[in-house]
Structure 1
Amino acid sequence: MDGTIVDTEPYWMDAEIALVESFGGTWTHEDALTVVGQGLWHTARVMRSRGVVLTDDEIIEALTARVMEQVREHVPWRPGARDLLDALKHAGVKTALVTMSMRSLAELVVEAIRADGLDTPFEVVVSGDDVEHAKPHPEPYLTAAALLGVDIADCIAIEDSEPGLASAIASGAVSIGVPHMVPLSSAPTHHLWPSLDGRTVADLATAFESELTR
């Protein structure tokens, strides 16, 4: 979700900086990049090590609340994401939103997407509070496939971070990396697209079929 479908990573970074600074600490852009794509409990542990005197759950609640305030004001689409979601919906392809953000934020983003004209953009939402193991563990994607009633080997996952991409690859899904805030490594385990802009259902099918011939 964050950084792949909607450009909310800057919202998270603003929230992290504000929280750490409220406890007299310093949180730089580079610090924020180290937790992109990680589960929020990992981020909370890092922030406590930087002087935030709150429990993990309190940190997650504070960050999520601040991000939700910004999402309510504006949900910025990533290039091509809206058109591709719309095309998948019209093609009858099942889709799942797999995010390590909390369900409250994921549902808020889904509602904002609906308000933008995409009715029921996802059949399934898997959030950070729905799984025991966060990305890069494969559990989030395996959970999504099970809820969709499909084999993970018949799925394509699109990710913008290394932890997310590692989760997708480990799950057995055909994996596509679309870098945004952080660079992604090139490897035979996945495809790299510079952007979703101009990408179609046919492009996804081609990526999937190429895996069958490897």
Structure 2
Amino acid sequence: MAPTTLQAVLFDMDGTLLATEQYWDEALAELAAGWGGAVSAAALASTAGVDLDGAMAIVRRDVGVTRTPAQAQEDAAWVIARVTALMARSVTWQPGARELLTACLASGVRTALVTTTYRPLVELVLGHLRADLGTEPFEITVCGDEVPALKPDPAPYLQALDALGLGAGVCVVVEDSHTGSQAGLAAGCRVLVVPHGQVLPSTPGLTVGDTLVGVGVEHLEALPHPAVV
């Protein structure tokens, strides 16, 4: 099927395409345990879509500890090393994500990866995906260490649109968090979000789903534009 109104799909990574949020949660929980505390499930859920500094701040508040800037830097390095070790073993697709991505590739819809995760970890993940799919999964990848501002700022998605040479009206963003959804909407894209433990407000251009299972290119193409919601 040749794409008509839909020309590209811009995917978030952690929690959207891949079940890698659990690695960050595991590392943050271990970090809190190292401080002698325990982070709540609600606090971990609220870190979805948040950059590492913000996530660690949430955990510190929840546990009730104070860290110096130098200690916070050491904590961040430890978390990244721990997540890298976990991701090096394997990554797991979210239900329906592999099928949606391969459907986009097969139909000629262009694909981009737009993630807050930094390039070294993303390259590790891409190695797993290339091996699994037998092809290059994304035409464009935009990582958290390559943008002037992070989600919910639209900068990452605007950078991807610019690299693709496309307008927002012919693109759809697929996300899993309120933060990421805000970024996609602010960039002017339609957004499909499958949240995990977050309740998202009703917003023009935002479609909230329960799963990516059964979602195909035709479903993304039919998502309503903000002007007609």
TM over 0.5: yes
Are 1:183 and 2:199 counterparts? yes
Deviation at 1:193, TM superposition (A): 1.7
Report the secondary structure of 2:53's partner residue. Answer: helix
Match of 1:103 in 2: 119
Deviation at 1:180, TM superposition (A): 2.3
Higher relative contact order (CA 8 A, sep 6+): 2
Report the secondary structure of 2:192's partner residue. Answer: strand
Match of 1:35 in 2: 47
Say whether the 8 Å CA contact 1:153–1:173 is kept in structure 2. Answer: yes
Once residues 67 and 179 of structure 2 are traced to their aligned partners in structure 1, the CA distance between those partners, rounded to angstroms, is: 24
Say whether the 8 Å CA contact 2:15–2:176 is kept in structure 1. Answer: yes
Runs of at least 4 residues of structure 1 off by over 4 A?
A: 52-57
Once residues 55 and 97 of structure 1 are traced to their aligned partners in structure 2, the CA distance between those partners, rounded to angstroms, is: 32
- The alignment-based identity, stated in percent, is 36
In the alignment, residue 191 of structure 1 is paired with which amino acid? T
Report the secondary structure of 2:84's partner residue. Answer: helix
TM-score by length of 1: 0.90
Once residues 10 and 143 of structure 1 are traced to their aligned partners in structure 2, the CA distance between those partners, rounded to angstroms, is: 27
Match of 2:225 in 1: 211
Match of 1:200 in 2: 216
Once residues 17 and 52 of structure 1 are traced to their aligned partners in structure 2, the CA distance between those partners, rounded to angstroms, is: 16
Match of 2:164 in 1: 148
Once residues 102 and 205 of structure 2 are traced to their aligned partners in structure 1, the CA distance between those partners, rounded to angstroms, is: 27
Are 1:9 and 2:25 counterparts? no
Once residues 71 and 206 of structure 1 are traced to their aligned partners in structure 2, the CA distance between those partners, rounded to angstroms, is: 34
Q: Which moved more, 1:4-13 or 1:28-37?
A: 28-37
Residues 56 and 148 (structure 1), Cα distance of their counterparts in 2 relative to 1, 3 Å cut: farther
Match of 1:132 in 2: 148
Are 1:59 and 2:105 counterparts? no
Q: Which runs of 5+ in 1 are unaligned?
A: none
Once residues 213 and 42 of structure 1 are traced to their aligned partners in structure 2, the CA distance between those partners, rounded to angstroms, is: 33
